[in-house]
Amino acid sequence: MDIDEKKLGEYYANPPEDISLADVDLERIPHHVSIIMDGNGRWAQARGLDRSEGHVAGVDSLREAVTTSVRLGLDVLSVYAFSTENWRRPQHEVDLLMHLFATTLLNELPLFHQENVQLRFFGDIDALPKETADVFREGLAQTADHTGMTFALAVNYGSRAEIARAARELASEVAAGTLRPEDIDESVISSRLYTAGLPDPELLIRTSGEMRLSNYLLWQLAYTEFYVTPTLWPDFSRWDFLRAVKAFQGRHRRFGGVTER
Ligand code: IPE
Ligand code: IPE
Ligand code: MG
């Protein structure tokens, strides 16, 4: 996406000591950044608050991450908001999150219109509570003709479930005689995943210091650069985003070969 350098400069005014916009190469911003937004509960507990307060605070970080991504000219920002395993949490926490997703999305629709952001979901959103599913479908409809950055929210997403679903779909097409097994290659499989048509993430950020994928984008992250920060999600700012991009730009990506690129 195009970068509006004037807006970007204003957005990154008043830098802290260790990082500034000049530290990143605007020609080499990753096209797709994905974030595992983790640590809301610990952020709240450290303040003697209920875990739910951490989720509420995390919404501000997410809004900032969306704006940062637009300003930096990303094509795609995707974020992991709720996994297929998160249903194991206490019912009141699940209920709060589902309600928070719905209200947040409604509140943020003006931002998506203003910034021309197209919304997308990874995961089975039909299985969500009706209030949430309805708002999500409304968000899809309202942003369908937007041509700017894609913002993908992974909700009720699990990578193994995603791959199993793709396998079922392909198997039924083979059974129906519309697909030949020998035609199933990597691109065919990619085209049946929730990320169909999107470039794989070049950079994955996980907050709160956890060094695991938690069932996120197992196929798509095959050659992604990982950046783990101890910062908890509600504390993650535009500057942390810049630190991650800077770290990414310092990596040598070899893709199995022996030279860079
Ligand atoms: C991430 O924060 C948000 C969701 C998984 C919905 P957590 O709720 O996992 O926070 P911690 O990991 O318990 O601190
Ligand atoms: C991963 O975080 C899922 C999301 C951030 C939505 P979790 O907090 O659920 O992951 P684990 O349980 O620590 O692996
Ligand atoms: Mg967590």
Which residues carry out catalysis? 38, 86
Q: Let me know: does 97 contact 105? Beta carbons within 8 Å.
A: no
Return d(Cα 165, Cα 174) in angstroms, integer. Answer: 14
40 is in an annotated binding site: yes
Closest C-alpha among 88, 87, 91, 140 to residue 117: 140
DSSP 8-state assignment for residue 194: T
Amino acid at 221: L
pLDDT of 248: 98
Mean pLDDT along residues 205-234: 98
Beta strands in 18-75 (DSSP E): 32-36
pLDDT of 261: 54
Higher pLDDT, 112 or 259: 112
Q: Half-sphere exposure (CA, 13 Å, Cβ side) for 102?
A: 14
Task: Encode pLDDT of 48-60 as tens digits.
Answer: 999 999 999 999 9
238 is in an annotated binding site: no
Q: Say how many Å lie between the CA of residue 233 and the centre of ligand 3.
A: 10
Question: Residue 167 CB: number of other CB atoms within 10 A?
Answer: 13
Per-residue pLDDT band for 259 (boundaries 50, 70, 90) equals confident
Closest C-alpha among 202, 203, 121 to residue 162: 121
Return d(Cα 120, Cα 186) in angstroms, integer. Answer: 22
Who contacts 201 (Cβ-Cβ below 8 Å, separation ≥6)? Answer: 30, 32, 33, 34, 76, 78, 217, 220, 221, 224
Angle at the Cα of 156 from the Cα atoms of 150 and 158, rounded to 5 degrees = 90
Task: Identify the three-state secondary structure at position 65.
Answer: helix
Q: State residue 164 phi and psi, 5-degree precision.
A: -60, -40
Whole-number mean pLDDT of the chain?
97
- Going by CATH, does the domain composed of 29-158+200-249 fall within 3.20.80.10? no
Residue 6, judged by CB atoms within 10 A of its CB (0-12, 13-18, 19+), counts as exposed
- The percent of residues above 70 in pLDDT, for the chain, comes to 99
Tokens 């990320």 belong to 195
Looking from the CA of residue 210, the nearest atom of ligand 2 is 13
Mean pLDDT along residues 55-72: 98
Q: Let me know: does 112 contact 68? Beta carbons within 8 Å.
A: no
Q: Say how many Å lie between the CA of residue 214 and the centre of ligand 3.
A: 9
What are the residue boundaries of the structural domains of the chain, listed by start? 29-158+200-249
Residue 201 scores a pLDDT above 90? yes
CA-based Rg of the chain, rounded to a whole angstrom? Answer: 19
pLDDT of 260: 57
88 is in an annotated binding site: no
Q: Say how many Å lie between the CA of residue 40 and the centre of ligand 3.
A: 7
Reading phi first (left if > 0) and then psi (alpha if -120 to 50, else beta), residue 209 is in left
Mean pLDDT along residues 2-14: 97
Task: Encode pLDDT of 85-120 as tens digits.
Answer: 999 999 999 999 999 999 999 999 999 999 999 999
Task: Encode pLDDT of 12-29 as tens digits.
Answer: 999 999 999 999 999 999
- The percent of residues above 90 in pLDDT, for the chain, comes to 98
